[in-house]
A and B are shown apart, each in its own frame.
Chain A
Amino acid sequence: MTTGLVYILYVLFAAAGAAVLLAMPRPDGGYVRSGFVVGVGALAGLLALCSYTFMAPHASNIFFYFFAAVAVLAAGRVVTHPNPTYSAVYFGLVVLSVAVLLVMERAEFLAVALVIIYAGAILVTYAFVIMLAQQSGAAGPDVRSREPFMAVLVSFVVMGAIAGQVGEVNRLPANLPTVQTAPAVMADVPVGSKPTREVGNTLAVGQSMFDDYVVVVQLAGLLLLVAMVGAIAVSRKQIPVEEVGPPPPAPGTIGRQVPPF
């Protein structure tokens, strides 16, 4: 990105940070509406900057802008809403918006996996935990936020600096080795012959996963198994010594107490 536009990007990130800072929960109620207005303005500016600088064909589509705006605004609401149940629902909206953006990126398998796993399993788990961890009391942890200004400063300065480097990649050296991997839509014919049909994204992802990344798939399965065992071990109720029931019957006496017919 050219130098002048980078500074505009920094200013817009600072405005977005100010919007989130205004909307954070406070004891006096917070300034959610003004935060929302500033946030919409900063987001519109950022999306206009994206359309001006980047030649991505998808970025000129109206759906990209709409769902990008929905994703960021819903994420802002997750972070600033005082009620955690509403945060979980807005997070579902973030996941669905990101899934739409992935479908526009021709990553349909990942988009559907995102909806099933995130909005289907993880969000339901959050809902259960919110149900199990109901707090009784007015002065909960959501009345006041913890150092909101420093949090906004750290996050938005760091991510603004990283986002400001976008566009520098066009100046990479020309003799960079090309990546030899499978294309997004592959033809399932042997090398050298003319491709007759294109396979979908799921098959391409599956072929890449099980050809190049088989070991990672096995490791992911192992990780899931370990996490399952760990979650069950962590959540077992610890029974104090006083609550132990009657001792188990001695071996050989089970069944002797029952009188025969």
Chain B
Amino acid sequence: MPDSGAYIILGALLFAVGMVGFLARRNLIVMFLSTEIMLQGVLLNLVGFDRMYPSVDGQVFGLFVLVIAAVEAGLGLGLVVLLFRRKGTLDSEVWATMQG
């Protein structure tokens, strides 16, 4: 049975790098780019699992993940522009108004 382990580990690595970027960076645009990197990791995972069975389900799932990513990028970047207009900076720390 063909094995998909290499793709799983690669997907996990990309997901981890994206998660670090999302949690540690303060620039809103870089946070969004890190989210997209996480989605790339998920895509590699989905297509990697296709090797175990003779199916294209993983690729169809991946296509819908792509649709969701496009939708999220469009809406999210519109919100980023609005947030930038409000405060004049792309720093996400200016929105951290909950104390303690």
Q: Which residues of A contact B (CB under 8 A)?
A: 1, 9, 13, 16-17, 20, 24-25, 46, 49-51, 53-59, 64, 68, 71-72, 75-76, 78-80, 84, 87-88, 91, 94-95, 98, 101-102, 105, 107, 109-110, 113-114, 117-118, 121-122, 125-126, 129-130, 132-133, 135, 137, 140-142, 144-148, 150-152, 154-156, 158-160, 162-163, 166-167, 169-170, 178-179, 181-184, 201, 204-205, 208-209, 212-213, 216, 220, 223-224, 227-228, 230-231, 234-235
Contacts and interface: CB of A to CB of B under 8 A. Distances in A.
A42 B15 CA distance: 16
Given A72-B17, A118-B69, A146-B26, A184 B50 contact: yes
A183 B54 contact: yes
Query: A95, A129, A132, A135: which has the most chain B beta carbons within 10 Å?
Result: A129
Q: Is the interface of B mostly helix, strand, loop or mixed?
A: helix
B89 to A, nearest CB: 6
A166 to B, nearest CB: 5
Contacts of A94: 14, 37, 40
Interface residues of B, number: 74
Given A141-B27, A181-B57, A216-B64, A159 B77 contact: no
B80 to A, nearest CB: 6
B6 A64 contact: yes
Interface of B: 1-10, 12-21, 23-30, 32-34, 36-37, 40, 43-44, 47-48, 50-60, 62-64, 66-71, 73-75, 77-82, 84, 88-93
Contacts of B52: 169
Nearest to A76: B17
Contact of A140 (B66, B68, B89): B89
B17 A231 contact: no
SS of A interface (majority): helix
A55 B3 CA distance: 6
B81 to A, nearest CB: 6
B63 A209 contact: yes
